[in-house]
Amino acid sequence: MTATATLRPLTRLAPALPLALTLLAAACSSPQPAAPADAGAWHRTDLWLAEPRVEAAPDSLGNQRSWARHIGVLGASEVRDMTQVTPFQLQQIPHLAASEIRALEQVQGTRLAYRVELGQAPYLSFIPLINEQHPWPTSYKVSVRPPGGEPVVAHERLETIAVPPAQAVVDVDLGAFAGQTVDVLLEVDALGAGGKGGGRIRRSVWGSPAVYSRIPLDHEPPGSPERPNVVLIGADTLRADAIGVLGGDPDVTPAIDQLASESDLWPETVSCFNVTNPSFASLMTGLYGKNHGVYDLRTQLPESFTTLAEEFSGAGYDTLAIIAARHLGNHNSGLGQGFDETSLSELHYSAELVIDQGMDWISGRRKPFFVWLHLFDPHTPHTPPAPYALGFHQTTTHGLSPDGDWRMHRTPGWPGYSFMPLGGSRELYQGEVAYLDRQVDRLMGFLRSQRLLENTIVVFVADHGENLADHGVRFGHHGLFETTTRVPLMIRWPGAEREGRRIPGLVQNVDVFPTLLAAAGIPVPDNDGENLLEITGDGKRGRRAAFSEHSHAQGARIRTPDFSYMVSEGSNFFPDGRYLYDLRTDPHETRNLAGTGLAQEEELQRALHGWLSQRRQLDRPRPVDLTQEDIDKLKALGYL
C-alpha cells in the first residue's frame, strides 16, 4: 500500500469499557439478513477485483485516478508503541506490521458504480480503513440503484478511528433488492481538520469490499467419493489447548469445535518440528526432518522429494497453495512443487484474504482439486480487528451469513502488548484465534452451500504451537514441549452430514501424507508416516512414541503416552542437556526429572538415539542465500 493509503498506527491508550461496547454495537448494528438453507450456494462478488464505472468525480481531480487497488494492512503499518521499543530492540526487529487485506482506495467526492446480480439474502461487507498519513474521519455511503430507479441509501455512517484495533466488519443488508440486477454505489466523504474542500484531494479506504448472496448452483460439484477434493487448512502457531474441544479456556472457537464434531479428531497429535517451514515440509512429504533435511526458514526442499501436491497433480487434480507468510514461499521452502497456482504474501496475509482467495478459486473448479490454505494469524504480531481484539468471540457458527451473537470472554477493551518487541499479548493471541475461527466458519459455510462437503476431505492441522510465557519464553516457539509440539489435527471425511469421533493414541503430522493419498486412491510412496485409519480407532493405540526435532538441529524429543524426554543442544533459551517429564503428574512440564534415576530415562534416551541414527540416504538440501529484504522480514517475526 502506498503512503497515502496506509492505515493509522495504533494509539497508546486502551479504550474504556464503554468505547469497547460501542465498537461492538457498531459491528452488530446492521440488519442481519437471513440465509435460508435452500436459497442456493453462496456467491461472492469481490468489488476489489471488479472494474467500477466512475459516475462522479470532483473537478480538482484532473487526470488523477479516482480509485485504486492496494494490498493494505488490517490495523497499522507499525503496530508497536515506539516509545516503548528500545534502539536495540528496533535494531533487532525494525518493522512490525499488521496482516494484509485487499484495500480499495477512493477519492472524496467520487461515486463508483458496480453492476451486481443479487441472489437471495444479499448483503455488502467491508471494513472501514483509515488513511494512515491523513487520518481524517470518513463517512462511508452505500446506495443501491435498481433498474430504471433512483439510488436508495442502504448505509451511511461516519467512522472515526482513534484507538486500536482495526475496525470491525460492516455488513449492509441488501435484502430489499434480492433477485435483481442492480448498481451498487460507493461514496466517501473524508473530513479533514479544516472541514470539507480546501483544494486537497482526500482519499479513504474500503477494506475487503464484497457483495454476497445465494444463487442456485448451475453445475454439479467437482469430486466424488472415489476422487475426493481435499482442502488442507494449515494454521500457524496454533497450540492444541487454544481450541475449545482440546481444552481451550476460554473457548473462543465455535466453528473449529463444530468442524471437530463432524471430523475424526486426534487430540494427541505431535508435530515433527517447532517451526513452520520444516513442519510443513514433513506434512507435505510424510518425512521426518532427519530424512528431508529442512531445519530452518531458508532451506529449500530439493525437487527430488515428492510432495502431496505433486501426487495429487499427477492424479489429475487442480492444485492451489495460498501461503500467508512470505518465508514459507517456494523461494525459501521449496514447497511450491506440484501446485498449478500459488498466492504468496509480501509480508503476511490476513486469514480473511486467504479464505477469500480460496473461495474465489474453488468457485471456478470443475475437476477434483487439492488446496492448501495457510493461515498465519496466531503468530506475532497479534493484530486481530475489533471485536476480537476487544475480548469478544462468536458464540455460534454463521457460515457466510453476517457476523453476530457476540460474547465477551474477558474484561472488554484493548489490552495492549505485554511484550512490545514482538507485538505479543496472551489476550490478543486469543483474539487472533477467535478471528481465525471466524474465517474457518466462513470457509465451511461456503463449502457447505456449494455442496462440496459431499465429496471433499477437509483437514485442519497446525504446524506447531506457541509459548505464551511458558518455560520462560514469551511468544516464541522455542523448545520441544507440549506447548510447542502438541497441535490440533482433525479430518472431516466426505459426506453432507458427518458425525465425528475423538480418537485416542499418539499420532504425528507426517501421518497426514499417507492418509490423504490412500483416501484418494493414489498409490502411497515410501515415507515415514502411517495411515491414521490403520493405526488408530477400533481399539488401536496409535504410535508407541512420537518424535520431534528442534529448528536448526538444536535438539530432539521423544514423546510417549506417559513421558517426554528432550535433549537440548545450542539453544539460546535453554541450557544444553537432558529434560525428562512425567506427563501423568506434570502435564505442564515444570519439573525436570532427568538425572534422578528413573528407569524410563535410559529407555527413552536409547530409543531417541536409535531413531536419530536411522536416516534415509536422500538428497541433502542446502540453505538459499537470503536477500536483505528477506532478512528484514524474518527479523520482523523474531526469527533472526
Residue 427: is its pLDDT beyond 90? yes
H or E element: which one contains 628? helix 628-636
Question: ∠ CA(108), CA(113), CA(117), 5° rounding?
Answer: 150
Model pLDDT, residue 136: 80
Q: How confident is the model at residue 91 (pLDDT cuts 50, 70, 90)?
A: confident
Residue 195: is its pLDDT beyond 50? no
Does residue 227 sit in helix, strand or coil?
coil
**Which domains can be identified in the chain, with CATH numbers?**
3-214 (2.60.120.260), 229-382+417-636 (3.40.720.10)
pLDDT digits (tens, 9 = 90+) for 434-477: 999 999 999 999 999 999 999 999 999 999 999 998 999 999 89
Q: How far apart are CA 364 and CA 368, in angstroms?
A: 11
In single-letter form, the type of residue at position 631 comes to I
Model pLDDT, residue 593: 98
Residue 13: is its pLDDT beyond 80? no
Q: How confident is the model at residue 638 (pLDDT cuts 50, 70, 90)?
A: low
pLDDT digits (tens, 9 = 90+) for 388-424: 999 999 999 999 999 888 999 999 999 999 999 999 9
Residue 35: is its pLDDT beyond 60? no
Give the residue-averaged pLDDT of 286-304: 95
In Å, how far from its chain's centre is CA 629?
Answer: 23
Highest-scoring range by mean pLDDT, 159-173, 187-201, 439-453, 610-624: 439-453
Give the residue-averaged pLDDT of 121-126: 98
Question: Which has the higher per-residue pLDDT, 72 or 198?
Answer: 72
Check: CB of residue 390 under 8 Å from CB of residue 428: no
Does residue 104 sit in helix, strand or coil?
strand
Model pLDDT, residue 162: 65
Q: How confident is the model at residue 626 (pLDDT cuts 50, 70, 90)?
A: low
Residue 68: is its pLDDT beyond 60? yes
Does residue 475 sit in helix, strand or coil?
strand
Q: How confident is the model at residue 62 (pLDDT cuts 50, 70, 90)?
A: confident
User: How is residue 482 written as a grid cell?
Assistant: 507440549
Q: In degrees rounded to 5, what are phi and psi of residue 3?
A: -60, -30
The DSSP symbol for 488 reads -
Give me the residues paired with residue 564 across strands.
Answer: 559, 581
CA max distance for the chain: 86
Check: CB of residue 6 under 8 Å from CB of residue 132: yes
In Å, how far from its chain's centre is CA 609?
Answer: 36
Q: How confident is the model at residue 15 (pLDDT cuts 50, 70, 90)?
A: very low
Check: CB of residue 528 under 8 Å from CB of residue 287: yes
The DSSP symbol for 245 reads G
CA-based nearest residue to 388, from 441, 462, 458: 441
Q: How far apart are CA 589 and CA 573, in angstroms?
A: 16
CA dihedral 475, 481, 484, 486 (to 10 degrees): -150
Model pLDDT, residue 295: 95
pLDDT digits (tens, 9 = 90+) for 467-495: 998 999 999 899 999 999 999 999 999 99
Model pLDDT, residue 137: 87
Q: How confident is the model at residue 635 (pLDDT cuts 50, 70, 90)?
A: low
User: How is residue 87 written as a grid cell?
Assistant: 534502539
pLDDT digits (tens, 9 = 90+) for 253-272: 999 999 999 999 999 999 99
